[in-house]
Amino acid sequence: AAPQYRPDFDYNKEVVQKAERYGMDFALSLVKYRGFGGKTDHWHWALDSFTTIAGLAAVTDHIKLIGSVGLQAHHPAVAARHAAMIQQISHGRFWLNIVTGWQKSEYASLGLWRGDEHYASRYDYADEYIAICRELWETGESSFKGEYFQLDGAQLKPRPQEPIKVVCAASSERGRRFTA
């Protein structure tokens, strides 16, 4: 079911505004850094999730907007800041989708693949990642010390006025525990 078009913001805006008019509950933006190739060029063309959702937040009123973050590509303090700003633009309609980085070729192409051992512990990494985001969103500061991240007085202001919901489409047992 590869798309037969190359996505752009105007097309996404049209689709999401139409979805909002029809009463759909949410729109989710994927995070893709490399497609699968082949004659259909499956997922090779992809918009940046955070900037796309921020733009859609400004031109919609009711639909929930779920932006995706590739954890290996964005530091949690930076992702928390992006999410807080989009939450402000959307007036509380932003949710964050966690992508732990399952496609090795996608992250390796950017020099971001942390090795096969990371794949096995990616939800431990995600636990720390989300702990940092939540601490920043709730208190505006984090000096988190963990196995993967060490922060020293990271700050986030303005903080989101409403809690940011976090979702994850995990299918493994460990991934489902993380999501729960």
Q: Which two tokens stand for residue 80?
A: 């928390």
As a whole number of angstroms, the distance between CA 81 and CA 64 comes to: 19
pLDDT of 20 higher than 90: yes
Per-chain mean pLDDT for the chain: 92
Instruction: Check: CB of residue 124 under 8 Å from CB of residue 147.
Output: yes
91-102 confidence digits (pLDDT tens) = 999 999 999 987
Terminal-residue alpha carbon distance, the chain:
29
Which residue, among 46, 83, 80, 81, has the nearest Cα to 65 in the 3D structure? 83
pLDDT of 112 higher than 90: no
Distances 61 to 56, 91, 145 between C-alpha atoms, Å: 9, 9, 39
As a whole number of angstroms, the distance between CA 166 and CA 180 comes to: 10
Q: Which residues pair with 68 in a beta bridge?
A: 97
> What's the pLDDT band for 28 if we cut at 50, 70, 90?
very high
Lowest average pLDDT, out of 88-92, 117-121, 162-166, goes to 117-121
Q: Name the CA dihedral angle for 74, 78, 82, 83, rounded to a multiple of 10 degrees.
A: 80
Q: What is the pLDDT of residue 167?
A: 96
Q: What is the pLDDT of residue 2?
A: 58
% the chain with pLDDT above 70: 98
Q: What is the pLDDT of residue 4?
A: 67
Averaged pLDDT, 9-22 = 96
Which residue, among 39, 33, 42, has the nearest Cα to 72 in the 3D structure? 33
153-180 confidence digits (pLDDT tens) = 999 999 999 999 999 998 889 999 998 8
Three-state DSSP at 175 gives helix
Q: What is the pLDDT of residue 104?
A: 81
Averaged pLDDT, 1-8 = 70
